Amino acid sequence: MKELWTTMASLMGVLAFCQTLFHTVIPPELRFVFLKLFQRLFTCFSSYCYYEITEIDGVNTNELYNAVQLYLSSSTATTSNRLSLTRGLNSSVITFGLANNDRLSDVFHGVPVVWEHIVTPRQSQTFSWRPLPEEKRGFTLRINKRDKPRILEDYLDFITEKANEIRRKNQDRLLYTNSRGGSLDSRGHPWESVPFKHPSTFETLAMDPEKKKLIMSDLKDFADGQAFYRRTGRAWKRGYLLYGPPGTGKSSMIAAMANFLGYDIYDLELTEVNTNSELRKLLMKTSSKSIIVIEDIDCSISLTNRKKNNGAGGRNTDGVPDVRSSPGGISPVDLRDQEINGSNNNSITLSGLLNFTDGLWSCCGSERIFVFTTNHIEKLDPALLRSGRMDMHVFMSYCSFPSVKILLKNYLGCDDGDVGKGVLEELAAVIDEAEMTPADISEVLIKNRRDNERALRELLVALRSRAEKNRRRRMEAEVEEMAEEEEKRALDSPMEVGDVATGGGGGDDVEVNYKKGGDGEEDNGIN
């Protein structure tokens, strides 16, 4: 053993001597040539290929270096014992990276590769317009020569894509608005943005679990569907129409969608947009992987169908002259605008909007979701509702029993087992009839969130009283309906007319009603 140590020590001594000799006796130029030669020989006989990805390529930053760094920080790759930690600007997430001069192995399509992060001090710089970092950093990728043609390109594409995904996830999501009207900022951008930090998720969203699952898988399929959309020749976009009473969670659903997919939100305020071309410019400046939202589409603007406009001479469905009707229509304002500007693109129209959701312009930018919300689906133009226009119509309903359980969990931290069986049964019995929105129920629960028992008691009281009110209202409506029916029957039956006519004052009523029916059939619906 002792001999072995002595041999090793003398071997090290020889090596150290050779190294000193190499550095002192041989001039640097010759040393460089020797090293290059040695490297050539080594690569000739080695069964591996080596690729260097340096941080700075000439004077430019090498994007691939950043991508590799991010990729290696992903959880699948962080198996190394030594890692560096970083947090980027505008990011609340800490990422792991390969420490200096450390190695890491990865497998792609069953092929093992090795990454090495090499950091060496940079030689002192002469004058440079752009000072370089003091250290020279780079990754070296080692792949077996026989695997290189099979995976290299795909592997690098994969890394770039993965890095973009990580970058997006790490960065704060943004909420854009066009509230400034058509004016541009200093960079010529029509959108203003703020960090988007809405906490709503599909987990906290109170709605039927089956419906929720369906929406989530639809969104997932959409986000993973690049190949599908390319294969089928469809623009990579999807439209959702969320409708239902106020406070049922339409806006919360949009936030949950954005958080689920990691997309930015563009909140398009249509009342701030004056013309179709302005709308086009705004939509062209949206990025991919985003949700474009138009809230309360029924009241944000008077959008009418092209055909109706053409036929009605610039009048909307109510027959009122439409200030912002289609160029096809001939409203006075349109005509004046056309005269002044010599163009027929001076108003925002339904067709202008639809051109972006499913017309030629829909393919400008990809991976985008359009979401329209409304409280009154019956007020929407049929053109917006026809099949294929909005891919999914989602009805956001009053709180159901499964939904109320989600709210109990959100606000009181109660699972099924924490609430008495009797209370649950009472909730189930009264919830549908009460027709309370998740917003109403949330309010009751928030108010009493310090005392679960009281919160449940108050909730039951509120639900019962609402159910009772609705029951009474329904009965009154039924009685009213029956009275109307009776009246109608009396008007329709000649026998009864005769009877009433001979009976005095009632005959006048009938006559008047008949007259009414004849004169204004469309008005009162009696015929």
Ligand X SMILES: Nc1ncnc2c1ncn2[C@@H]1O[C@H](COP(=O)(O)OP(=O)(O)OP(=O)(O)O)[C@@H](O)[C@H]1O
Give the residues lining the site for ligand X (CB under 6 A).
Answer: 204-207, 246-252, 375, 396, 438-439, 442
Q: Rounded to an integer, what distance in angstroms lies between the CA atom of residue 165 and that of residue 51?
A: 24
Q: What residue 206 binds from Mg ion, ligand X, none (CB within 5 to 8 A, per partner kind)?
A: ligand X
Instruction: Identify what 54 binds: Mg ion, ligand X, none; CB under 5 to 8 Å per kind.
Output: none
Instruction: State the Cα–Cα distance between residues 416 and 418, nearest whole angstrom.
Output: 6
- Minimum CB distance to Mg ion, residue 303 (Å): 19
At closest approach, how far in Å is the CB of 436 from ligand X? 11
Are the beta carbons of 87 and 183 closer than 8 angstroms?
no
- Which residue's CB is nearer to ligand X, number 199 or number 319? 199
> How far apart are CB 408 and ligand X at their closest, in Å?
12
Name which of 155 and 260 has its Cβ closer to Mg ion.
260
Nearer to Mg ion, 173 or 250 (CB): 250
The site partner of 314 among ligand X, Mg ion, none (C-beta below 5 to 8 Å per kind) is: none
Span from 26-34, 232-240, 243-251, 333-341 in contact with Mg ion (CB under 5 A): 243-251
Q: State the residue number with the nearest CB to Mg ion.
A: 251
Q: Which is nearer to Mg ion, 142 or 198 (CB)?
A: 198
| C-alpha to C-alpha distances, 494 to 24, 52, 504, 512, nearest whole angstrom | 126, 98, 16, 15
Would you say 249 or 327 has its CB closer to ligand X? 249
What spatial distance separates the first Cα and last Cα of the chain, rounded to whole Å? 116
* φ, ψ at 111 (rounded to 5°): -100, 125
Amino acid at 330: I
CB of residue 505 to ligand X, shortest distance in Å: 49
Following DSSP, what letter does each residue of 294-349 receive, concatenated? E-SHHHH-----HHHHHHHTSB-TTS-B-TT--TTS--HHHHHHHHHHS-S--S--
Nearer to Mg ion, 64 or 293 (CB): 293
Which of ligand X, Mg ion, none binds 252 (CB below 5-8 Å, type-dependent)? ligand X
C-beta closer to Mg ion: residue 116 or 296 = 296
Instruction: Based on the shown chain and the rule CB under 5 A, indicate whether residue 437 belongs to the binding site for Mg ion.
Output: no
**Residue 246 interface partner, choices Mg ion, ligand X, none, CB cut-off 5-8 Å depending on type:** ligand X
Q: How far is the CB of 507 from ligand X (least distance, A)?
A: 50
Min CB(179)–Mg ion separation in Å: 16
Residue window 246-275: x/- pattern of binding to Mg ion, with contact defined by CB under 5 A = ----xx------------------------
How far apart are the C-alpha atoms of 300 and 271, rounded to whole Å? 6
* CB of 296 vs ligand X, minimal distance in Å: 7
> Which one of Mg ion, ligand X, none is in contact with 207 (Cβ closer than 5 to 8 A by kind)?
ligand X
Would the CA dihedral through 382, 384, 389, 390 be positive or negative? negative
Q: Is the Cβ–Cβ distance between 70 and 84 less than 8 Å?
A: no
Contact partner at residue 248 from Mg ion, ligand X, none, CB < 5 to 8 Å by partner kind: ligand X
Amino acid at 443: E
Instruction: Determine how many CB atoms are found less than 10 A away from the CB of residue 157.
Output: 10
Q: How far is the CB of 62 from ligand X (least distance, A)?
A: 45
Rg from Cα positions in the chain: 35
Q: Which is nearer to Mg ion, 251 or 276 (CB)?
A: 251
Give the nearest distance from C-beta 175 to Mg ion in angstroms.
Answer: 14
CB of residue 373 to Mg ion, shortest distance in Å: 6
Residue with tokens 């400034």: 180
Question: Are 196 and 260 contacting, i.e. CB atoms less than 8 angstroms apart?
Answer: no
Distance, CA of 86 to CA of 228 (rounded, Å) = 36
95 or 248: CB nearest ligand X = 248
Considering beta carbons, is residue 117 or 250 the nearer one to Mg ion?
Answer: 250
Phi, psi dihedral angles at 373 (to 5 degrees) = -125, 150
List the single partner that 66 binds among ligand X, Mg ion, none, CB under 5 to 8 Å by kind: none
Q: What is the 3-state secondary structure (H, E, C) of 334-392?
A: HHHHHHHHCCCCCCCCHHHHHHHHHCHHHHCCCCEEEEEEECCHHHCCHHHHCCCCCCE
Nearest Cα to Cα of residue 270 among 170, 368, 381, 372: 372
Q: Kindly list the residues in this chain that would bind Mg ion in the complex (CB under 5 A).
A: 250-251
